[in-house]
Structure formats: structure tokens, C-alpha cells
Copies of this chain bind each other. A is one copy, B any other.
Amino acid sequence: MSKKFHFKGRILMLGYGSVGRCTLPLIDRHFDMPLGHMAIVEADDRSDLLKRYIARGLKYETTPIVRENMASLLSKYLGKGDLLINLSVEVSSIELMNWCQAHGVLYIDTCIEPWAGYYDNASIPTHERSNYFLRYSAIENARKWPKGSPSALLTHGANPGLISHFIKQALLDIAKLRGLSASKPKSKAEWARLMMKTGTKVVHVAEHDTQISSDPKKPGEFVNTWSVPGFVGEGLQPSELGWGTHEKRLPHDGNEHPIGPRCAIYLSQPGCVTQVRSWTPIGGPLIGFLITHGEAISTSDYFTVWEEGRAIFRPTCHYAYHCCNDAVLSVRELQMNGFHMQKQHRILGPEITQGIDELGALLMGDFGAYWYGSQLSIEEARELLGPEFNATSIQVAAPVLAGAMYLIEHPNLGLLEPEDIDHDYVLDVCRPYLGPVVGVHSDWTPLKERGRLFEEAHLDWDDPWQFRNFRVS
């Protein structure tokens, strides 16, 4: 990445939160483009943090975007050939995309966001509060776009985003390990066949954030390593998972969807109280939250093998998120308080004393378990970008950078999901920002050490990869 990436358009970045703050220096570092061509709009006034960029020409505005002011605001900063990087919360991704389509503007985000007041609105039917439904709506919405319309890349952060590329790399590694032909598949159908051939049954986004801090979470405070409203929002959505064809039965509280590809199910409880077992190489066995995430839906859809209209293979696919310890405690407090979000928010930065955000894809099946991902430490994160950054936000910002480059180089592909773009391209751009990127084979299964002190009557000892064996709560 010695040569700078040339871009002659303008960039508008919405949101300058934990991810935005990390993305700006990456763009500044890698793009050959005057800062005067770049603008940031966000809801909170953080101009103090941006002084040195504003001095170099960056445009900055504090305006909460709502349905009514969206179009006029976007037109101020964007026109044909430009790029919108959406790193805000509570601004509708679909409406932003539609505006971009109408105005020839490239689009990227890291989450399909609805307008404010959606996730915790009990008057919206549960299944419509799902990511499955939000993704379905985004895809349906894009059906009317003409072929060759401006590229719009959905959910290209760390996870969703980067993780889909980790999954593909893991799959190639496993294929090699198993002595299968490991040439890189060229289509969705080929990728799905390869996964089936490897004997993969389950794919976890297995993340263990071990960053700890010297300033403990206080009562009434939600502490996290990235967006608090972002995390709470997805935590209050129904727990969702791609539902594999090897699963023997639906969970007692599992629900199928009435529409769309039916690759995923949702549980009748929020993700922030749904816990599952998983594993990462450094952290070891973990218990994490099964928070809904875009990739649980998109990858289970992508890796489905269809034969005569029947899905003959699909992996179970979901998130298993051991957030940082202070966030674990914050989630617990949220549950104690009847899911009313705490008023005080804090994103950990300089107070972090040690830790790693170990984030990867854990593929499990006939071959055992194989984890492929990033083990970025707080020390390395600080070396890369400075003392105010943490490992988590860099893992999100690097794929935003890669996605933006990809869009600029491939401007006419219409709607894109992470699975639709070349994983080597993205990994090559991101690698310098990910710390050690490793693939590790393990004999871990969710049945390891189970039933030692107490019998666990509900376990399926015949097939370790049944969802019931992973589920804790």
C-alpha cells in the first residue's frame, strides 16, 4: 500500500463515532485526494476532535439527519461520481441508498440501519424487527434499480463485512487440509458447493474482546469498545441465525420467516439475553451473545446449495460475541433494567490496560473446528493509529477503506453484499491493520467438558454440531 489510491470525486462521511474517527485517518493516509473534497456530517458536535483536519480543508457540519432534511443535506455535499460513507446510526440505509442511486453516487455502510425508534418499538411485529427483514427489504428495494446502476455496498465493516472474507479464506484452508481441490471458486454456487464438500456444518462469527480498563463501569453506565446505541440496538433485536440443513429440530422458541429465502430463523427473545458457546485460539472456550448480525443471514443464504428448488445444504451461521468485560456487565444491567438503555455511555480508549479483539470465522464440521481471523491487540492498535484508538474500531475501519476502494474501482455493480466482492482484494487492503491474521485447527466442540459435574439432559451426544449443544440461554 505504498502507492496512494487516486480518487477525483468527493466523499461525504455520515457519522463520526468510534468507527468514523478511525476511518478518517485511514482515508487520509491511503487516498490521494485533497481533504477539501471531503465532508463529515453527524448529530453530535465533535468538531474539537477534528481541528487538524478542518484546518486542512475538511468540511464539517453538525446536523441530525431525519427523513425531512436528508435530501437537501446530501445534495450539499454529493453529486455524480461521489461517494457516501455511512457510519451513522439511526439514519435509514435504504433511503440513503435510494438517494445515491438517483444521483449517481456510490454508497457503503456497515449496518443496515432503520430510522430511529425501530428496534425497541414493540408495536412493530417481532419478525419485522429482524435483520432478515431489513436485508430482505433492502434487496427487494434494489430490484427496481437498472443493471449497471451505481455500486452500493451493504454492511462492509468487520462483522458484517470482513468476516465474510475470513469465512472464504477459512474454507479454502480447510479444503486444502482435507486434500480437496482448493482452486478458488468463481461463483456463489461454487463457493456453496465447496463448503458442502468440506463437511462444514456450522459457521460462527467467534469474537472475544479481552480489552479491559482501569476505569471500571459505573452503575448506570454502558461501556463498550464501539457504539453503545449501535450495540444496544442490535442487542434488542430478536436473536437470529442462519439455520443449517443438518439441524434436527427447531428450537422451542425458534420461528421461521413468512417471506424471502428462508435461510434464517429468529428466536422469541433478544440477542442480548441469548448466549452460546464458541471458541477462539487465544481466548479459548467462550460464552458469547447470539446477537443478530447481517452476516448470519447473508452467508447462510450465500452458502446454500440448491437442487431442484430444494436447499440440500446450508450451514448454521451466527454470531457468538464475547464483548469486552465492561460491556458484558453493561448488557447484564440493561437486562436488569427491563431493556431501558443506560443514560451514560462510554467507549473505551486510553483507559484500556490490555487486551485483544480476537475476531474470526469459526467453521465446524467433519474436520473439527477451524478458526481464521484477526488478533489485533490494543498495543498494536495504538501503534497503528494513536493512543485514543482501540483494537475494535480499527478492525471495522479497515474494511470500510477496502470497500470504498473496491466501489471506486467497480462503480457500476448495483447492490452488493460482502460475499459478492473478491475476498483477496479486501484481505490485502486490510491485512496491515489486523495484527496477526491466523488460521488455527482445533479439536474443540461444544460438548467438551460438558456434563462433568451435572448431567445435561438436553444435549445431543450423537452430533456435536446441533445448535442445542451450543446454546446456553
Contacts and interface: CB of A to CB of B under 8 A. Distances in A.
Contact of A285 (B238, B270, B277, B337): B337
Interface stretch (A184-192, A207-215, A292-300, A383-391): A207-215
A141 interface: no
A428 interface: no
B336 A325 contact: no
Contact of A338 (B122, B210, B448): B448
A367 to B, nearest CB: 23
A268 B336 contact: no
Given A214-B216, A339-B449, 7 more contacts: A212-B218, A217-B325, A286-B336, A287-B336, A338-B450, A339-B453, A340-B449
A445 to B, nearest CB: 12
Nearest to A275: B473
A254 B207 CA distance: 34
A213 B216 contact: yes
B336 A285 contact: yes
A453 B216 contact: no
A270 B218 contact: no
A216 B353 contact: yes
Copies of this chain, complex-wide, total 2
A457 interface: yes
A332 B122 contact: no
A342 to B, nearest CB: 12
B338 A449 contact: yes
Contact of A453 (B236, B448, B449): B236
Name the residue among A213, A218, A354 with the largest chain B CB count within 10 angstroms: A218
A464 to B, nearest CB: 15
A443 interface: no
A329 interface: yes
Interface in A164-206: none
Given A212-B217, A216-B212, A338-B449, A332 B287 contact: yes
A235 to B, nearest CB: 11
Interface residues of A, number: 47
A412 interface: no
Contact of A329 (B126, B270, B328, B457): B328
B268 A452 contact: no
A462 interface: no
Contacts of A284: 336-337
Contacts of A473: 472-473
Interface of A: 120, 122, 126, 210, 212-219, 236, 238, 253, 268-270, 277, 283-287, 325, 328-329, 332, 335-340, 353-354, 448-450, 452-457, 472-473
Contact of A122 (B325, B328, B453): B453
A214 B212 CA distance: 11
Nearest to A126: B454
A454 B269 contact: yes
A72 to B, nearest CB: 34
A270 B456 CA distance: 11
A179 to B, nearest CB: 33
Contacts of A354: 218
Contact of A452 (B122, B126, B238, B285): B122
Given A329-B329, A338-B449, A457-B268, A216 B216 contact: yes
Contacts of A448: 338
Given A287-B336, A332-B328, A337-B285, A120 B212 contact: no
5 contacts: A218-B354, A268-B457, A269-B454, A269-B456, A329-B329
A243 to B, nearest CB: 19
Q: Which 9 A-B pairs have the closest CB atoms?
A: A338-B449, A212-B216, A287-B336, A325-B329, A473-B473, A285-B336, A214-B214, A269-B454, A122-B453
Contacts of A210: 219
B269 A338 contact: no
A345 to B, nearest CB: 17
B217 A214 contact: no
A452 B339 contact: yes
A287 B335 CA distance: 8
A132 B219 CA distance: 35
